[in-house]
Amino acid sequence: MKLLLIPLIALGLIGCAKKSPNLIKEKIVVLQVPESYYNCPTVKSFPNPDKLTDIQVARLIVTLYQNNQTCKNSLEGIKKFIQEAEQITSK
């Protein structure tokens, strides 16, 4: 009976042995958008609206429109850059 008990104890101890852990290697990627993509010009100071001529108002509107387009293009460039970077890093 003792001879039968020793192998059973050994098998029990083998079953309780620690398994080697599964190591998962994580990759952290930090995206940095180039500084040149951040291009949103602004009008630093607005002229006195009471003294503006029609031509000056028109020029101001054109300037604001152009600034808006430039900023819109910059933000679209940033969005495209991030999408491309995500595709590269997900491979």
Would residue 20 count as lying in a domain?
A: no
Would residue 13 count as lying in a domain?
A: no
Q: Greater confidence, 87 or 7?
A: 87
Burial pattern 53-87, b for ≥16 Cβ within 10 A else e, equals eeeeeeeeeeeeeeeeeeeeebeebeeeeeeeeee
Q: Identify the three-state secondary structure at position 63.
A: helix
CA 30 from chain centre, in angstroms, equals 7
Would residue 5 count as lying in a domain?
A: no
Residue-number span of the structural domain to which 65 is assigned: 35-91
Per-residue pLDDT of 10-63, as tens digits, reads 666 665 556 677 777 777 767 788 888 899 999 998 888 899 999 999 999 999
Q: Is the pLDDT of residue 8 over 70?
A: no
Number of domains in the chain: 1
